Amino acid sequence: MKVLITGASGQLGGGLIERMPTIQPITPSEDEATTGRPSFAVLDYSETRAFLGDGPIDWHSNLRLVLNAEKALG
């Protein structure tokens, strides 16, 4: 899967990223993390969402908001 995030001007990462990074997936056996992980786990954030009063947030939109905020900070 490829994801391309562009700002309103069409710049990569809203103008904060000079080149597209390469992300290479790894298998669990290649992960050097020492923390044991269950073979299947699901994060239940329903209580947090109920407290905040909103629904699931689209990560594309959130990433764009964060990149724009970073750009505004200079």
Q: Does residue 61 fall inside a structural domain?
A: yes
Asked if residues 71 and 16 have their Cβ atoms less than 8 Å apart, the reply is yes
d(CA 69, CA 46): 27
d(CA 19, CA 37): 33
19-66 pLDDT, tens digit per residue, is: 777 778 878 777 766 667 677 777 888 888 888 887 777 888 888 888
> Which pair of tokens denotes residue 74?
């200079």
38-51 pLDDT, tens digit per residue, is: 777 778 888 888 88
Q: Does residue 36 fall inside a structural domain?
A: no
Which pTM was predicted?
0.34
Q: 1 lies in which domain range?
A: 1-19+41-74
Q: Does residue 27 fall inside a structural domain?
A: no
Q: Does residue 2 fall inside a structural domain?
A: yes
Q: Is the pLDDT of residue 7 over 70?
A: no
Question: How many domains is the chain partitioned into structurally?
Answer: 1
Q: Does residue 29 fall inside a structural domain?
A: no
